[in-house]
Amino acid sequence: MTDHPKVRDYMTQEVDTVSLNDTVSDVINLIRKTGHDGFPVVEDGKVTGYVSASSLLEKALDERISNVMSKDVLVADTEMEMNDVARVIFRSGKSKLPVVDKNGHLRGIITNSDVIRSHIERTSPQKVWTLKKTLEAIHNVHVDVVRETVNIDELIPTQPKVYADELDGRIYELKKGLAEPIVVIKKPNKLILVDGHHRVIAAKKLGIKNMDAYVIPLGDDVHLGMEKTASSSGLHTLSDIQILDYAKHPLVEITKRLKKNDQNGMASVSQ
């Protein structure tokens, strides 16, 4: 994948849609069937509107969708960069955008989850370059960067835990061939995994043995702090990495705590 992933790399191509002549009852049944909370309204392959579950409230069951839908629709282009669509989604408060081609024909749908997934563990040449310059500055050595295929079973991790929810995203990427190279420091008889722990564990779950990597060769005379920390933490193989359940993710815990505080605050006000 390029350094600037596009909407076409992450969008879902199979989209549930409704037509102008569908009724509120039809859409309610579709919501029950799919679990989605909104659908593009399509006519002759083109997006003409969007109908959300909230727009159906207090509407007659036989009301036509053409009278209920929003005609002011935000869409994404297939060639739009994910960084740009992220700005649109989070600034507009939308959870998903229909994806269209240059002629306005529906090609897929992109969600806020796709945006988050596209940014998690995103490795770029700039990131590797920064590591290279840091190693050179700290250890006063010249560092090369090469692209190689590495055997993941030989990797020594430097991160003690990964999160199950992020693994789902990495597994999806690997299945679609979208995963970025991992970053490895290669010492004599030793491969140290610097970046890409979620990708590597996902690969291991899929039975993948070898992965593309940015490899930085170093001699044994270069003593790395991350290497020492990993050893003292008991990290020797990938099996030593702990997989944490989504519910234990720090961000989720913070969100739960804030939500609980908000609810307590509202209860106090109502009293």
When pLDDT is cut at 50, 70 and 90, the band that residue 104 belongs to is confident
pTM: 0.52
- Cβ atoms of residues 3 and 124 within 8 Å: yes
Q: What residues contact 135, with CB distance under 8 A and at least 6 apart?
A: 141, 143, 216, 218, 222
Task: For residue 158, report the phi and psi dihedrals to the nearest 5 degrees.
Answer: -125, 5
Single-letter amino acid code for the residue at 186: K
Where do the domains of the chain lie, and which CATH numbers do they carry?
7-118 (3.10.580.10), 121-248 (3.90.1530.10)
Alpha carbons within 13 angstroms on the beta-carbon side of residue 131 total: 22
Banded pLDDT at 246 (limits 50, 70, 90)? low
- Closest C-alpha to 182, from 214, 209, 206: 214
Q: Is the pLDDT of residue 121 over 90?
A: no
Specify the pairing of strand 38-43 against strand 46-52. Answer: antiparallel
The token pair that represents 65 in the structure block: 């969708």
Cβ–Cβ under 8 Å, residues 196 and 131: no
Q: What is the pLDDT of residue 232?
A: 87
DSSP the chain: --SS-BHHHH-BS----B-TT-BHHHHHHHHHHH--SEEEEEETTEEEEEEEGGGGTT--TT-BGGGTSBS----EETT-BHHHHHHHHHHHT-SEEEEE-TT-BEEEEEEHHHHHHHHTT---HHHHHHHHHHHHHHH------EEEEEEGGGEEPS-SEEEHHHHHHHHHHHHHT-PPPEEEEEETTEEEEEE-HHHHHHHHHTT--EEEEEEEE--TTS--HHHHHHHHTT--SGGGSEEEPGGG-HHHHHHHHHHHHHHHHHHHHH-
Answer yes or no: is pLDDT of 271 > 50.
no
Residue 16 has a pLDDT of 93
Q: Residue 1 above 50 pLDDT?
A: no
Q: At residue 3, does pLDDT exceed 60?
A: no
> Highest mean pLDDT: which of 11-25, 74-88, 128-142?
11-25
The length of the chain, given as a count of residues: 271
pLDDT of amino acid 53: 92
d(CA 36, CA 46): 20
Tens digit of each residue's pLDDT (9 = 90 or more) over 157-196 = 999 988 887 788 788 888 877 778 899 999 998 999 999 9
Q: Which of 96-105, 127-136, 194-203, 251-260 has the lowest mean pLDDT?
A: 251-260
pLDDT confidence band for 76 (50 / 70 / 90): very high
Report how far residue 51's alpha carbon sits from residue 18's, in angstroms, rounded to the nearest whole number: 8
Write down the pLDDT at residue 262.
54
